[in-house]
Amino acid sequence: MKEVSFKNDVLPLKDKLFRMALHITSNREEAEDIVQDTLMKLWNQRDEWSAIQNIETYIMTICRNLALDAIDKKERQNISLNEMVHDQPDNSQIQDETLIRQQQMNSIQAIIQQLPEKQRTIILLRDIEEKTYQEIANIMGLSLSDVKVNLFRARQTLKNKFNKS
């Protein structure tokens, strides 16, 4: 088994971790905190690294779980997950085509946020992070067929809802 280096093996993953946390929580500050907590949690477990077979899968799982815990905590406090803060550029400077594309992206993002958590995470890992089906199954603790079925359902829902809007 290869020796794990925090600097060479873990730190390069922080952007992936941030994107995952951001997609799950829809909150930039929360995602940054989750990444920091993930890295700290992994660092505190450094004596156990030799037993970890795939550090990327392991750290992505930690990040996913922390992000889901953050969502659960917000739900218990009755905070809406649909509140997304965006910096809106001045509309007078935006070309029509750019505005339409932005509206489409916002619509897609809103539809993805409405998906069940499992489907939302799978679509993020597959289509954004470009993970293999097997990597997704390992990260989420699912069978390969469960990953494929949930990804298909998520994509179908996304397609149907986007075409209706």
Sign of torsion, CA 155 112 150 54? Answer: positive
Q: For the purposes of burial, counting CB atoms within 10 Å of the CB of 40, is it exposed (0-12), middle (13-18) or buried (19 or more)?
A: exposed
Res 96: pLDDT: 66
**Torsion, CA 132, CA 136, CA 138, CA 143, rounded to 10:** -100
Tell whether the model's pLDDT for residue 103 goes beyond 60.
yes
- The listed range with the strongest mean pLDDT (19-23, 128-132, 148-152) is 148-152
Angle, helices 14-25/28-44, rounded to nearest 10 degrees:
130
Across 48-60, average pLDDT: 87
Domain termination site, one of 34, 55, 82:
82
The two structure tokens encoding residue 17:
């971790």
Total domains in the chain come to 2
Confidence band, pLDDT 50/70/90 cuts, at residue 33: very high
CA dihedral 21, 37, 62, 56 (to 10 degrees): 80
77 in the same domain as 97: no
Whether residue 37 is predicted with pLDDT greater than 90 in this model: the reply is yes
pLDDT of residue 85: 43
* pTM of the shown model: 0.56
**87, pLDDT greater than 60:** no
State whether 22 and 50 are in the same domain. Answer: yes
Q: Is there a single domain that holds both residue 114 and residue 144?
A: yes
Cα–Cα distance for residue pair 151/143, rounded to 1 Å: 12
Residue 84 has pLDDT above 70, yes or no: no
**Given this model, what pLDDT does residue 83 score?**
45
Domain that residue 41 falls in? 1-82
Angle at 112 between CA 42 and CA 155, to 5 degrees: 105
Q: Which residue has the higher pLDDT, 130 or 134?
A: 134
Please tell me the predicted confidence (pLDDT) of residue 16: 92
For residues 67 and 101, state if they share a domain. Answer: no
30 pLDDT higher than 60 = yes
Give the residue with greater pLDDT, 21 vs 79. Answer: 21
